[in-house]
Amino acid sequence: MKKLMNDADDFERETCEGVIAAYADCLDTLRDNERVIMSRYPQQPGKVGIVTGGGSGHLPIFMGYVGQGMLDACAVGNIFASPSARTMADAIAMSDHGSGVLCLYGNYGGDKLNFALARDIVALDGIDTKELLVHDDVASAPTNLAGQRRGVAGMVYAFKIAGAASARGDNLKKVAEITQHAIDATRSMGCALSACIVPRAGKPGFSIGDDEIEIGMGIHGERGIEVRKMMTANELAEALFSNIEGELALSSGDECSVMVNGLGSTPLEEQFIVYRRISQLIESKGAKIVLPHVGEYGTSLEMAGLSLTIIKLDSELKELLLAPARTPFYSNLNRIGVKGFAADSWTSMNDVKPERHHSDIDSSEERAARSTLISNGSIDARVIKQRFQAISKAIDVESEYLTELDRQNGDGDLGISMKAGFKAICGKLDSENEMDLGRLFSLASLTLNETAPSSLGTILSIGLMGMAKLMLGRSSVSMSELSSALQEGLETIMRRTGTKPGEKTIIDALRPAIETLQETLSLDEAARAAANGSEATKQMLAKHGRAAYYGAKSLGVLDGGSAVGRIIFESIR
């Protein structure tokens, strides 16, 4: 692996520090959370805040669009991994100017779960929020399931429209409505000539033959949906355009904006050759292109390839697209005849940031959930800490296996994130002399959410918090009571994620294990049930997460999340 970096574990932090150093005149980080990138431009009081968040590895998405006329702040996660809920909450709080905040981000499981938690946190401070999910990738789901599509480069158009609507003074409801209209009018599709390498993984997420091109991949290094023989630029342009235009139905007199987006290592010359053919195809429909974009707008590290995005414009969307914007990686001022903004001075928003109040286990919600269980058990904090240590060691041993599983139907970071998360839990619990089991599991939940920034990390954090609420105030529990807490954690996960058994997820290992434990009170039997449940996922069709994008290709592959569930129960025997 050849990469210009120092330590892989410092990759995201040093990237953020480099961007801030280069654009210190217009970007800043939150003093108490360096993963929050915010605009240094002064904001009008009463303006609706626009916030996004997502994993690193996509520059200029996400932090590159923080600035005037676009985003107020963004939350930064690890490579291809969701930011923590706390980081998202901090970004939202920093962006509230008194009229609420629109959370605008790509349609990915981890981001959805963490933004849900973040919105709950800021609601305690009285901050009004709405959320919109960008789902422009036509390759990731059929038309009748468009709401399940993932968000790719079309996010840039959504950021632009939302930011312009906010800047002209629209209220939160109106900003959300016009941004949703823009999302509905946007379609994207991409191709890859080579895979990217996640620094901590050290190897490509997939391989492509020298004479092959992969159609329909996402921006997280996932495989595409179809491999074809290498084609000419014109043939590629026609293939991508036909899939997009089939849904947008461009006709004579229509106006649209086009984005040819390089994914990381495709030369601009090649991007312009593709754009040349796209412009010819659109002109042949009698349609007109407004403010075209060619360049790197949303990348996937060093992946070679590009994506095509088209937004069909009406008069209002066109007006908002042409409204002035200035960010480190996006400015249309020289193209629309605007010399600058009225206010060209700015100060660090750290100097005027509102006070944050983080909710913790002593909030009214948690106090209301205190259990009335009789304290007669024998499983105490010492035992729980030992079991977390056992889980951490087992995850460490199997981390490469988990990563390999995840490469088959995901982005290849599962082993890395789980190893980091459970190691951090052990360190946190060892540093705290906490005997209350509810508080102990709450610490584990918050620590995992911060240090295992992935969909599964968030899912397990939700489950641990569900367990925490049931055990709050208890210094020990019986095996029966522990099984009840595990059941509560499982039900909390299923409620928040909408996941059911049989959908090829960690639930398929956890549910049989917990049911067996409740029936037998035997951890050995529960571990066997978890292993059987995990093995059964090979014959299941994935319906959630990135694996769902692969459809029938997910059959025959063991689900990585279920493997984690199996490891957990085998470790606590």
Of the candidates 153, 155, 192, 189, the residue with the CA atom closest to the CA atom of residue 303: 192
pLDDT value for 260: 99
Domain assignment present for residue 356? The answer is no
Q: Rounded to whole angstroms, how far apart are CA atoms 394 and 397?
A: 5
Is residue 156 within 8 Å of residue 297, measured between CB atoms?
yes
Domain assignment present for residue 514? The answer is yes
Give me the phi and psi of 454, to 5 degrees please: -150, 170
Domain assignment present for residue 346? The answer is no
- Is there a single domain that holds both residue 169 and residue 217? yes
- Is there a single domain that holds both residue 273 and residue 417? no
- Is there a single domain that holds both residue 438 and residue 546? yes
Helix 381-409 and helix 560-571, axial crossing angle in degrees, nearest 10: 160
Domain assignment present for residue 350? The answer is no
Q: Which residues are bridge partners to 229 per DSSP?
A: 212
Q: Return all residues near 95 (Cβ < 8 A) that are at least 6 apart.
A: 38, 49, 50, 51, 72, 73, 101
| CB neighbours of residue 397 within 10 Å | 12
Is residue 79 within 8 Å of residue 199, measured between CB atoms?
yes
- Is there a single domain that holds both residue 402 and residue 321? no
Residue 405: which CATH number? Answer: 1.25.40.340
Q: What is the largest CA-CA distance in the chain?
A: 78
pLDDT value for 205: 76
Q: Rounded to whole angstroms, how far apart are CA atoms 70 and 103?
A: 13
Domain assignment present for residue 504? The answer is yes
Of the candidates 439, 367, 446, 490, the residue with the CA atom closest to the CA atom of residue 117: 446
pTM exceeding the 0.85 threshold for the entire prediction: no
Give me the phi and psi of 130, to 5 degrees please: -130, 160
Q: Rounded to whole angstroms, how far apart are CA atoms 62 and 52?
A: 7
Q: Rounded to whole angstroms, how far apart are CA atoms 23 and 228?
A: 41
| H runs (alpha helix) in 498-538 | 507-520, 523-536
Domain assignment present for residue 357? The answer is no
Domain assignment present for residue 355? The answer is no
Pair type for strands 73-79 and 49-56: parallel
pLDDT value for 551: 63
Domain count for the chain = 2
- Is there a single domain that holds both residue 329 and residue 372? no
CA 106 to chain CA mean position, Å: 7
- Is there a single domain that holds both residue 368 and residue 240? no
Q: Rounded to whole angstroms, how far apart are CA atoms 104 and 182?
A: 12
| CB neighbours of residue 125 within 10 Å | 16
Q: Rounded to whole angstroms, how far apart are CA atoms 535 and 530?
A: 9
Is residue 404 within 8 Å of residue 441, measured between CB atoms?
no
Is residue 274 within 8 Å of residue 306, measured between CB atoms?
yes
Domain assignment present for residue 72? The answer is yes
- Is there a single domain that holds both residue 391 and residue 527? yes
Print the domain residue range for 401: 364-571
DSSP secondary structure code for residue 143 in this structure: G
Tokens 């460490």, residue located: 396
Output helix, strand, coil percentages for the chain, rounded to the nearest 5: 50, 15, 35
| H runs (alpha helix) in 28-108 | 85-94
Is residue 308 within 8 Å of residue 258, measured between CB atoms?
yes
Of the candidates 560, 565, 271, 236, the residue with the CA atom closest to the CA atom of residue 391: 565
- Is there a single domain that holds both residue 151 and residue 269? yes
Tokens 């280069």, residue located: 22
The set of long-range contacts for 541-544, using a CB threshold of 8 Å and a minimum separation of 24, is 541/504, 542/409, 542/503, 542/504, 543/503, 543/504, 544/109, 544/497, 544/499, 544/503, 544/504, 544/505
Q: Which phi-psi region, left, alpha or beta, contains residue 57 (left: φ > 0; alpha: ψ -120 to 50)?
A: left
pLDDT value for 541: 84
Q: Rounded to whole angstroms, how far apart are CA atoms 467 and 573?
A: 18
Residue 203: which CATH number? Answer: 3.40.50.10440
| H runs (alpha helix) in 329-454 | 333-336, 364-368, 381-409, 414-431, 437-451
- Is there a single domain that holds both residue 305 and residue 375? no
- Is there a single domain that holds both residue 377 and residue 327? no
Positions marked catalytic: 220
Per-residue H/E/C for 265-312: CCCHHHHHHHHHHHHHHHHHCCCEECCCEEECCCCCCCEEEEEEEEEE
Q: Which residues are bridge partners to 331 per DSSP?
A: 326
Q: Which phi-psi region, left, alpha or beta, contains residue 202 (left: φ > 0; alpha: ψ -120 to 50)?
A: left
Q: Rounded to whole angstroms, how far apart are CA atoms 423 and 212?
A: 40
Give the DSSP H or E segment for 467: helix 455-471
Pair type for strands 326-327 and 330-331: antiparallel
- Is there a single domain that holds both residue 412 and residue 508? yes
Domain C-terminal end among 306, 339, 372 = 339
* pLDDT tens digits in sequence order for the chain, 573 residues long: 789 999 999 999 999 999 999 999 999 999 889 999 999 988 888 999 999 999 999 999 999 999 999 999 999 999 998 999 999 999 999 999 999 999 999 999 889 999 988 898 888 789 999 999 999 999 999 999 999 999 999 999 999 999 999 999 999 999 999 999 999 999 999 999 998 998 988 888 778 899 999 999 888 866 677 899 999 999 999 999 999 999 999 999 999 999 999 999 999 999 999 999 999 999 999 999 999 999 999 999 999 999 999 999 999 999 999 999 999 999 998 887 655 454 443 444 444 333 333 333 333 333 233 232 223 348 999 999 999 999 999 999 999 999 888 888 676 789 999 999 999 999 999 999 899 999 999 899 989 988 987 789 989 999 998 899 899 899 999 999 999 999 999 999 999 888 999 999 999 999 999 999 999 999 999 999 999 999 999 999 887 765 665 667 668 889 999 999 999 999 998
| CB neighbours of residue 128 within 10 Å | 14
Q: Return all residues near 241 (Cβ < 8 A) that are at least 6 apart.
A: 278, 281, 282, 308
Q: Which residues are bridge partners to 477 per DSSP?
A: 379
Q: Rounded to whole angstroms, how far apart are CA atoms 479 and 377?
A: 7
- Is there a single domain that holds both residue 286 and residue 326? yes
What's the mean pLDDT when you consider all of the chain? 89
Q: Return all residues near 403 (Cβ < 8 A) that are at least 6 apart.
A: 201, 412, 413, 414, 415, 416
Give the DSSP H or E segment for 339: none
